[in-house]
Structure 1
């Protein structure tokens, strides 16, 4: 029995030893399977995530790279040698950054101010301008430190560039582009100067406006006065011409009122005259200031002789106050540029009007034209003509107006006297662009 148990024990040991390799061999695939689930699969998922993030990053960066390439062309050979060619320019050299040479390319860069205002206007670039020259102002009271005026050629037509100086700060840039957006938002009208585009992506920032050959009406009236002293008059202002031009300005004023825009600056200085003697209303700076609530009493000082009584008494401007100023515009036209209420001090004008006084009839003014001036200058706003009534009255008067007799003013222009009588108590640049 002992011998048999010993054999059984030996068999059991052999059986156990033979089972160990079989068990290990059977469990090895299970271990390998768990290794794949725990280590390899997360690794693959991590790599996939990294690849996806990298792809998204590259896709996001690619448009910026392309846009930079579009708006930043290489500096051309003519641009590198721009200053060496300045002696070939005619007239006054353009300011730095403006293309004074035809076909010259300028380096461009994307600016943050590009998104400061809604892009309602047509974007232009410097390369479209040539023959750029500084534009002399008719007369200057106070230098404009933030912008300057230049004459240029674009697409075979003459334009005026209002150029923001490159030293302007971010607030001035915002105001400049805000005004451009404001003008663009008003829409187009035959008696408003056309805004042709804006350079807002790279400095210097510009507004591009159509050029009107004779520029501001006030300067044109003064030239008529000077031309009348010669044997031949190159500038002829007749009563019929006054009715025609005034009707065009009244049409623009009615359109602005329909756009909920009060002009607040109607006068000969704010009217532009084309080569065919068409008149277009401009001078929209004060209207934009009021829209942005940035206007101050000091900014209105130069306009006080043209303001309605209610505005002089610190009440808000209105459509009827624009009509009051329009009557004074007619006075300027018929006197070839005399200021209204010339012998009254600015600080005494309101008291003068409160006593029932009004503009005297000029010697060169017909009764029909003077009746329109008085209808615009009623003390009570509700008694003044509406813009639609004003247009109808001017159109009727134009049919019977004298178109042959040229207006004559014997007195030559005395600039210093004009400044005193117009009530300009401090330096001011009236340039309407």
Structure 2
């Protein structure tokens, strides 16, 4: 039946406008809805396709120069730094330009972890191409050879740095320990009296840890230089008691920070302190603290002969290391500073030291040491751990002493350095005999 014969049909014959309005739903609205649905679906599909498009493109190189690098601006910056490395005087295992074939894919932190135990990724990842002017850094004073780690001086972002480099090895345990130390150091966080961690290199071998360079190196060598005639040297090498108080306060602050992180240093001595150009000091020598974290209850570091003249009586008696054991060693460090690098207990053999202390003996007062400084040394080196001063108390005494002490009198030691004599007095090379 036609619409014209439908009694409900409102339009009369010939009224086109009425017909269009009556059929508006079928003729206009429904087609428009279909069109909108199609457009929305098309746009969604297009967005999803674009979002899955790879962000890096590589093409296979036909030779060393025919290499397409990732298009990120950071990698272009790295490549420019790599070009600056040509001609550096560096050993083959360090020189990243020795094998100029650039890998087709960038090795990620995950790739490194597949060949060594997992270490959490740090935000300080560096690329080896960023280092310039790389030169070997000989140790100023080394008792035993380290066959796994080498040190190099370099420049990164126009500032001097030290590269702590793991020698290339197939030993997965060494890689785990190296990367574990980097993570341990990063987790400590920044502190004014700890060296700055500036980066780690895990994207390719050799693995590296990058720390700031402190120009005057370790404190023990610095103290020995201060023994020499300074007529041809700059005055800042001269040590005064006020400088000892200032340096001591900085080291005590670093120790207090480590203790707040539930760490025991266990290696406090002049060799474990680094000296900057401005003569501010920073505590280093964190290897034993890291190894104790990894090997809970292990005493292998405590049996190290080169540390025993600095260890507290309870450690010499093979009892557990305590935070107060660091305070004893800190007192020995103050003794090293005021004597310009003399060995502690010079006339006592290592295997006799515990019995010597059991009899109530203590470090003798150096000739050029004030009563104020010597009282702080004695407050640290008390036989019973609970009788030793706290680090907070030591900090207050050191800051107070620094304000009142004379800064004009330069500490002097008439006796020149005799390395063989020092090694003997410090107990290096002496066999350990446990005294029960």
Q: Assess same fold via TM > 0.5.
A: yes
Alpha carbons of 1:273 and 1:168: their partners in 2 closer, same or farther (altered >3 Å)?
farther
Matches of 1:318 and 1:96, distance apart in 2: 40
| Contact 1:113–1:173, Cα closer than 8 Å, also in 2 | no
Q: Quick one: distance in 1 between partners of 2:217 and 2:231?
A: 22
* Distance of aligned partners of 1:69 and 1:385 in 2 relative to their CA distance in 1, 3 Å threshold: farther
Deviation digits for residues 359-397 of structure 1 (CA, Å, limit 9, x no counterpart):
000011011000000000011111110011110110110
Cα offset, 1:167, TM superposition: 2.2
Q: Which has the higher helix share?
A: 1
Specify the alignment match of 1:160 in structure 2: 162
Structure 2: state its 5+ residue gaps.
1-48, 68-83, 432-436
Q: How far apart, in 2, do the equivalents of 1:401 and 1:68 lie?
A: 67
CA contact (8 A) 1:309 1:353 kept: yes
1:353–1:323 Cα change, 3 Å:
same
Taking structure 1 as the reference length, the TM-score comes to 0.76
What corresponds to 1:185 in structure 2?
Answer: 187
Distance 1:202 1:402, change over 3 A: same
Q: Contact conserved, 2:116 with 2:176, CA < 8 A, in 1?
A: no
Higher normalized contact order (CA 8 Å, seq sep 6+, divided by chain length): 1
- Distance in 1 between residues matched to 2:388 and 2:353, nearest whole Å: 19
Q: Tell me what 1:26 maps to.
A: none
- In the other structure, the counterpart of 1:342 is 346
Aligned equivalents of 1:404, 1:249: Cα separation in 2: 23
Can you list the C-alpha shifts for 1:53-88, whole angstroms capped at 9, x where unaligned?
xxxxxx9xx99x988969x9x95699xxxxxx9995
Are 1:380 and 2:384 an aligned pair?
Answer: yes
Pick one of 323, 326, 337 that aligns with 1:322.
326
**Distance of 2:320 and 2:123 partners within structure 1:** 30
TM-superposed deviation, 1:317: 1.2
**Structure 2 CA distance for partners of 1:236 and 1:344, relative to 1, 3 Å:** same
* Structure 1 contact 100–129 (Cα < 8 Å) conserved: no
How many residue pairs match? The answer is: 355
Matched position secondary structure for 1:150 = strand
1:141 paired to 2:146: no
Distance 1:418 1:114, change over 3 A: same
Find the aligned partners of 2:234 and 2:134 in 1 and give their Cα distance: 33
Partner of 1:18: none
Q: Distance in 2 between matches of 1:192 and 1:105?
A: 38
Q: CA deviation at 1:423?
A: 1.1
Moved more, 188-197 or 229-238: 229-238
Tell me the CA shift for residue 190 of structure 1. Answer: 0.4
Measure the CA separation in 2 of the matches of 1:98 and 1:202. 12
CA distance in 2, matches of 1:289, 1:76: 45
SS of residue in 1 equivalent to 2:409: coil
- For residues 254-279 of structure 1, give each alpha carbon's deviation from its aligned partner in whole angstroms, at most 9, with x where no partner exists: 00000001000000000000000001
CA gap of 1:170–1:330, structure 2 versus 1, over 3 A, is same
- Which blocks of at least 5 consecutive residues in structure 1 are unaligned? 1-58, 79-84, 428-433
- Structure possessing the higher radius of gyration over alpha carbons: 1
Give the CA RMSD over aligned residues.
3.1
Mapped partners of 1:284, 1:68: distance in 2: 43
Corresponding residue number in structure 1 for 2:132: 130
Q: How does 1:182-261 map to 2 (within 5 A)?
A: 182-228=184-230, 235-261=237-263
2:134 counterpart SS class? strand
TM-score by length of 2: 0.75
Q: Deviations over 1:298-330 (max 9, x none)?
A: 752210000000010001111111000000000
The answer to whether structure 1 residue 93 and structure 2 residue 90 are counterparts is yes
For 1:240 and 1:105, locate their aligned partners in 2 and report how far apart those are by CA, in whole Å.
56
Quote the offset at 1:147 in angstroms: 1.1
Q: Note if contact 2:249-2:395 (Cα within 8 Å) is conserved in structure 1.
A: yes
Distance 1:397 1:387 in 2: 15
